[in-house]
Chain A
Amino acid sequence: MSSRLQISLVAGILIALGLGLALYKKIELGFPLLPGQRQVVWTLESKISFIPAGGPIEISLALPSSQAGWVVLDDHFASSGFGFTVMASNGDRHAQWTRQSLDRSTTLYYKLQIYRADNVGLGGGPVPDIEPPELTTDRQAAMERVVASLQERSSGSVSFTALLLQQLVQEQMDQDAAFLFGNREESKLAVVMDVLAFAGIPSQRVRGVFLEDGRRRQQINSLVEVFDGKHWTIFDPTTGQPGLPENFFVWRRGGTSVLDVVGGLSSQLEFAIVKNTLPIKTVLFMEQQVGEQPLLGFSIYSLPVEHQGVFKGLLLIPVGALVVVLLRVLIGIRTSGTFMPILIALAFIQATLLTGLIIFLAVVGAGLWIRSYLSHLNLLLVARITAVVIVVILLMAALSIVSYKFGFNQALTVTFLPTIILAWTIERMSILWEEEGGHEVLIQGGGSLLAAVLAYLLMSTALVEHLSFNFPELMISLLGVVLLIGKYTGYRLTELYRFRDLSRPDK
């Protein structure tokens, strides 16, 4: 019995440790235990990379301020080995990194967390002076004709801009416009600004970032803003639509470029973006505490954003594993492979349950059918599995393309289903089919799917997500629970049915 005692002791300590840590965070540090009011919080990690050209280096990054309802929760700089200051001059904030010399390419980080408190516009702002562009004679002539043609068809500066952008988006330009925009040395946006300036319309660029969850190398983008004498109107030059796109985080309104690197080559500004649906209170709190509390200094929040995103998924795996263990040990449901259900559940999280389920069933079903044909050909096992993998990839590609053509974008998420898992499922199921019959396939396949769906349902719960990410120490408790389950020697639920014949009513 000593091993049982040992396990109970270890499990008890683990459970107590995990719960204790969580309680300490809750009571002493005031972490909210429940997700509470949730808000989409975006974490942007800006990466400035460059190759030093030799000599002193000075990097200046314009910092965003809270505009258009966006609120900057918190920001951090990483600047090892550089002199660093934040300079403020007439409302503009600039971060400045300096260094005498450097001999290898380097990356500097600036991380910020933002959310949109109110969905409002940019509002009024100072009107910049119009600087007419300097043009060569041929471009001057083309410019005059383009502006004249646009002015003829428009009623004011807003419709002028709308028309101009429409031409650009729909690529229905006359010769003059095509000549102007055809110049490869200048970006199209720069030409748009030139046209507006030439027409005497006050305009400026609004630089910012389109927020997309999980993007790693997002670039900075520009919108165009024009002033009609009373109001500013903003346009997205890629669509020609007026208005501020909802997922556009305004970094800098007007002014010159965001990043200036002196003494460096090939400088680049890239963003890694992670979306969290988080209780604002938690986030605010977390950010205040990370610096002060040594315990939080080792929390997941201190990791780079890109890795936080990975951890968000990773931390859910133990929860799924718990579901599988419970189903197998306590209920006695047979699954094919121990952790295949978790992988399927993770795929469901990416693809959403219903589409994931449909695609999974469709691909596995079709794969089984094809494999049954392959098995008639009497191929070697390895060749057959490989053939199944290839067929599965083809099926997935076909499914994606066909459904995209028919306008079902969800089917594209098929790529989230791990191919190897699908192929292996098909292979296992079909061997099972041959050896044990379709009945066993239904039992094990159904069991796996049931486990996957239950794991998915639990893993996608707001509370579970909140707890697993904010209280990862609960995983230690989970470990203790799993150890205890490992020593469970009672009956499984299914055994109550299996051994039903042994009941003796006469006794």
Chain B
Amino acid sequence: MKWISPRELREQGVLGMNSRNVDYIGRSNDRSRYPLVDNKLKTKQMALEHGMPVPVLFGVVRTQHAVQALEQMLEGLEKFVIKPVQGSGGKGILVITQRRGDDFVKSTGAVLNLREVKRHTSNILSGLYSLGGRPDVAMIEDMIEFDQMLSNYSHEGVPDIRVIVYHGFPVMAMLRCSTHASDGKANLHQGAVGVGVDIVSGHSLYAIQHNKKVEQHPDTGFRFDELVLPHWDEVLHLAAGCYGMTGLGYFGADIVLDRDSGPVILELNARPGLAIQIANQVGLRKRLQMIDDLRPIERDVDERVSLAKQMFGVTMV
């Protein structure tokens, strides 16, 4: 078993969990603003108020009683997503890609009937997927049809782009590709592939699965080193723009690329994970400290993005 010495970690500027919690999350994020990001419905409403693109909301189910009316709510919807408003880690998200008669076809190809969809919704409401089992609310929104190019790098799920934003500056980014092992979820813990992305170009840097380097997607076989994310500038602007609306100093923006409408905000995360450092093969701390030096001056989104690009570009080998 190979280990790394604390000294080397420090030299690499790797951010540890304790330091993330105390120095960045604790210091930069006002607790009272957490509900804005923990509650996806609030995030969506806030984003709409600020004119940010989000998946279209079809409806909200708040009570077990309302689950009975689900059929009317879903009428005419060919493809949609049912997700818990306070879920975490991609839990409890049901993606329906098409209707077949009275039945619903999941992204995995499995077929559900109306009763099973209702059951899933009811489970969401009773808190099965929310933190600590709190009663929750289910929301139904439009399914993202992602870019054809990205579908090469994803299996049974939506690949999303995680951008760490520190005081409005996009600091580090990674593409998260779901795999068969991750059960279609873009969650690195569960075996999704994390691809580090260059802040300047949107070009891939390195890819990991289960904290180990991979060259190609385990299910689709496409090589990661050929990957360049489209709409990259828009992605950065969108992520950086979320700073103004949330007031959070340190967060992760999860963005997906829709085939038609380009980048949309899927959700925000006030406690983004640290695996992004492995996917980028670079520590976060030095970048965060560089931002700290810039913080005293107010800048708009464009300035912040271009400064970030100047600072955090990676020379390709």
Contacts and interface: CB of A to CB of B under 8 A. Distances in A.
B19 A490 contact: yes
A380 B23 contact: no
Given A489-B16, A492-B18, A499-B277, 4 more contacts: A490-B16, A492-B16, A496-B6, A502-B277
A474 B65 CA distance: 55
Interface of A: 329, 332, 378, 380-382, 431, 435-437, 440, 486-492, 495-504, 507
Contact of B6 (A488, A490, A501): A490
A500 B4 contact: yes
Contacts of A495: 9, 14, 16-17
Nearest to B11: A507
22 contacts: A329-B18, A332-B17, A380-B123, A381-B126, A489-B16, A492-B17, A495-B9, A495-B14, A496-B5, A497-B3, A498-B211, A498-B278, A499-B14, A499-B277, A499-B278, A501-B208, A501-B281, A502-B8, A502-B282, A503-B2, A503-B12, A504-B8
Contacts of A499: 4, 9, 12, 14, 277-278
A431 B91 CA distance: 11
B89 interface: yes
Given A502-B278, A502-B283, A431 B128 contact: yes
B213 A503 contact: no
A489 B23 contact: yes
A502 B4 contact: yes
A352 to B, nearest CB: 32
B122 interface: yes
Which of A329, A487, A491 has the largest count of B CB atoms less than 10 A from its CB? Answer: A491
Contact of B128 (A381, A491, A501, A504): A381
Contacts of A507: 11
Contacts of A489: 16, 18-19, 22-23
Contacts of B89: 435
Given A499-B278, A500-B3, A488 B212 contact: no
Contact of B213 (A332, A435, A497, A501): A501
Contacts of B282: 502
Contacts of B317: none
Nearest to B181: A437
Contact of B4 (A381, A435, A503): A503
A496 B4 contact: yes
Contacts of A500: 2-4
Given A436-B190, A496-B3, A504 B22 contact: no
B110 interface: no
A490 B5 CA distance: 12
A332 B21 CA distance: 13
B119 A437 contact: no
Which of B5, B14, B18, B127 has the largest count of A CB atoms less than 10 A from its CB? Answer: B18
A503 B1 CA distance: 13
Nearest to B27: A3
A496 B10 CA distance: 11
Nearest to B185: A435
B16 A491 contact: yes
A490 B18 contact: yes
B9 A491 contact: yes
Contact of A497 (B1, B14, B190): B1
B189 interface: yes
A488 B127 CA distance: 34
A488 B18 contact: yes
Interface string B109-152: 00000000001001100111100010000000000000000000
Given A435-B91, A436-B189, A489-B22, A501 B16 contact: no
A332 B19 CA distance: 13
A436 B89 CA distance: 10
Interface string B202-228: 000000100111000000000000000
A433 B119 CA distance: 20
Contacts of B189: 436, 440
Which of A436, A495, A507 has the largest count of B CB atoms less than 10 A from its CB? Answer: A495
Nearest to B12: A502
A436 B8 CA distance: 31
State the 4 A-B residue pairs at the shortest beta-carbon distance, nearest first. A489-B19, A381-B126, A491-B16, A503-B4
A501 B211 contact: yes
A329 B12 CA distance: 21
Contacts of B213: 501
A476 B216 CA distance: 55
Nearest to A435: B91
Contacts of A490: 6, 16, 18-19
A144 B42 CA distance: 94
Contacts of A491: 6, 9, 14, 16, 18-19
A492 B23 CA distance: 15
B6 A382 contact: no
Interface in B1-53: 1-6, 8-9, 11-12, 14, 16-19, 22-23
A499 B14 CA distance: 8
A504 B12 contact: yes
A436 B190 CA distance: 6
